[in-house]
Amino acid sequence: MEPQFSQINENRSHETDFVVIGSGIGGLCCAALLAKYGYKVTVCESHYLAGGAAHSFEVAGYKFDAGPSFFLGIGGPPGDGSPNPLKQVLDAVGERVESKQYDRWIVYPPPGGGSCFPNIANAAAYERTILQQGGPEALRQWRELDRAMGPLQTAAGLFPAAALRGDLGVALTAARFLGPELLGTAIVAPMLTGPFSALVDKHVSHPWLRSFIDLECFVLSGMTARDTLCAEMAFMFSERNAGRSAIDYPMGGSKAIIDALVRGVEKYGGRLLLRSHVDEILIEGGRAAGVRLRPPAAAPSNGSVIRARCGVVSNASVWDTQRLLPAGAAPAAWERSSTATPALDSFMHLHLGIDATGLDPTLECHHLVVNNWQRITEPQNVIIASVPTVFDPSLAPAGKATVHCYCAANEPYDLWAGLDRRSARYKALKEERAQPLWEALERFIPDIRSRTELTLVGSPLTHERFLRRHRGSYGPGISASGGQSWPGPKTPIPGLSVCGDSCMPGIGVPAAAASGMIAANSLAPVWSHLNMMDELLPASTSA
């Protein structure tokens, strides 16, 4: 069912407590929790679909995920203690997502580099894969790295995202989790905020294993071990070793997650306005006081203003947030550092509707193709594909299947900059740059081209247009090896907070959800935050 929203010509001016700009996972998590805390919240989304990079869309009866398709720990019962911040938000607002649980994806090495192999979300199975692919020495080095990661795994899991906030109140909300482990956390804290490569370089020299580790980092953060935060990888190690890293596919696709978050916003009195493009953040008396919406083309004089009594939260990227501020509103140093944030490359997408007649019944959902182990981050080197109808046939007409194939953080925007999307050159470039994706799909569905009945090719310009995303970027390329750090929810402008993958803890669905949770917690009184934690977190984790 199509989401409901106000008529395009309706004046949407009103007053609320908080305006959230953007309905990505970070923005919706923030809005749902703010509404749960008792605030009046309005979410403004430029697109006609909610979800940001995680939205879903339908064409000719085929239902597609626009972006992420890997989800961990989102489908369990309420209060199951999942460390995934997205699941914690869903639990906090009383929403569930039905999902299919599985444990693997298939990795395809470069041509001539051996057979494909399963990557199984289990510590013992992971070790078997390393032994089979890299040999005994690779396994020995992996075990050394795993042992060295032990204290960091403990430290990374010490404070659940639900307990975190961006002010001094964290001393109270985190206090219940303090114990003997705290001393060890203090010792390893500098390593958590540094690059994962600091440990990898110390313990791993095996060429294939180093490439495999870089691959895992790249799929998570869009960067290799040299640039990925050690804390992100410590969480991954902890989940794998604890046996909690089974993968969930939401029935109905990523739309089911977005719908659940929207329900969480609306059940507590919040509002979602679609086709509501924010032109400007209003600054009054030096404080963020609301937003001005772009007037619709049908009624150019009908611009709406939404005033925010308590503040504005931007789920837009670090670059796009700056563009929404009036000239001179941002402190010069903050504006310079924000706009200078390096951007990761963009995406190429293939969304296909195919004839499923005679497809291998054992076909797995997720597939990852590596064209060169030595050049993980090079353009179109790593390609990811999913066939979600393996789990949910309702995503396609009877007898058909949906396929999503993409390369993320490795499609250069400069190849596309300035092209007219209606031009023959643009269409030719889309066809050319989609060829590696077709070839990747042929690794596991050899006759994919003849089966295809619907073809949609997405480029960096598609990403930029539909997500209102600077250069169609995968996200900020903030290196753990550099001097710049991921910002928290607070900004130098009073009343303006931020969330999303431009904030700590970074890129990825769990990270974006955590940023939204931290932003909402930081805006709520400490006692409200503590009450939410009492409802959400099992007593055993807070003892």
Neighbours of 132 (CB within 10 A): 13
The total number of residues written for the chain in this structure: 543
Collapse the DSSP code of 371 into the 3-class scheme (helix H, G, I; strand E, B; otherwise coil) and give the result.
coil
Distance in angstroms (rounded) separating the CA atoms of residues 69 and 59: 18
Mean pLDDT by 10 residues, the chain (543 residues): 43 94 97 98 97 96 91 83 89 94 93 90 90 97 93 75 87 74 54 88 97 94 92 82 77 96 97 96 97 80 88 98 96 95 96 97 96 95 97 97 96 97 97 98 98 98 93 94 86 98 91 95 95 76 39
> What total number of domains does the chain contain?
1
Q: Which pLDDT value is given to residue 174?
A: 80
| 270 occurs within a structural domain | yes
Do residues 123 and 240 touch, judged by C-beta distance below 8 A? Answer: yes
- C-alpha dist (Å) from residue 247 to 76, 254, 259, 391: 11, 14, 20, 12
The token pair that represents 146 in the structure block: 């795993």
Rounded to two decimals, the pTM is 0.93
Burial class (CB in 10 A: 0-12, 13-18, 19+), 462: buried
Distance in angstroms (rounded) separating the CA atoms of residues 132 and 169: 49
Do residues 422 and 323 touch, judged by C-beta distance below 8 A? Answer: no
Do residues 411 and 346 touch, judged by C-beta distance below 8 A? Answer: yes
Q: Which pLDDT value is given to residue 184?
A: 52
Q: Which pLDDT value is given to residue 160?
A: 80
Q: Which pLDDT value is given to residue 540?
A: 40
Burial class (CB in 10 A: 0-12, 13-18, 19+), 108: buried
Name the packing angle between helices 136-156 and 123-134 (round to 10°).
150
Identify the domain containing residue 35 by its residue range: 14-56+82-98+250-341+479-536
- Amino acid occupying residue 150: G
Residue of 541, 538, 529 lying closest to 166 (CA atoms): 529
Give strand ranges (E) for 392-458: 400-411, 452-458
| 277 occurs within a structural domain | yes
| 516 occurs within a structural domain | yes
| 493 occurs within a structural domain | yes
Distance in angstroms (rounded) separating the CA atoms of residues 125 and 245: 12
Which domain CATH number covers 295? 3.50.50.60
Q: Residues 468, 472, 475, 481: is their CA dihedral positive or negative?
A: negative
| 199 occurs within a structural domain | no
- Amino acid occupying residue 14: H
The token pair that represents 79 in the structure block: 């209060």
| 64 occurs within a structural domain | no
| 180 occurs within a structural domain | no
| 453 occurs within a structural domain | no
